Copies of this chain bind each other. A is one copy, B any other.
Amino acid sequence: MVKQLVRDEEKQRPLLDEHEEKHFTAGEVVRDIIIGVSDGLTVPFALAAGLSGANAPSALVLTAGLAEVAAGAISMGLGGYLAAKSEADHYHRELQREQEEIDTVPDTEAAEIADILSQYGLGPQEYGPVVTSLRNNPKAWLEFMMKFELGLEKPEPRRALTSAATIAVAYVVGGLVPLLPYMFVATADRAMATSVGVTLAALLFFGYVKGRFTGSRPFLSAVQTTVIGALASAAAFGMAKAVQSI
- Using CB atoms and an 8 Å cutoff, list the residues of chain A in contact with chain B: 1-3, 5-6, 8-9, 12-13, 15-16, 19, 22-23, 25, 38-39, 42-43, 46-47, 50-51, 54, 56, 59-60, 62-64, 66-75, 78-79, 82, 86, 89-90, 93-94, 97, 101, 105, 107-108, 110-112, 114-115, 117, 120-134, 137, 140-141, 143-144, 147-148, 150-151, 153, 214-216, 221, 224, 227-229, 231-233, 235-240, 243-244
From B12, B110, B117, A107 is in contact (CB under 8 Å) with: B12
A239 and B67 contacting across the interface, CB-CB below 8 Å: yes
| A122 and B130 contact, Cβ closer than 8 Å, known pairs A64-B64, A228-B75 | yes
- Say yes or no: B63 contacts A43, CB within 8 Å: no
Q: Which 4 A-B pairs have the closest CB atoms?
A: A50-B67, A46-B71, A2-B128, A67-B236
**Chain B residues with CB under 8 A of A229:** 75
Q: Which B residue's beta carbon lies closest to that of A15? A: B108
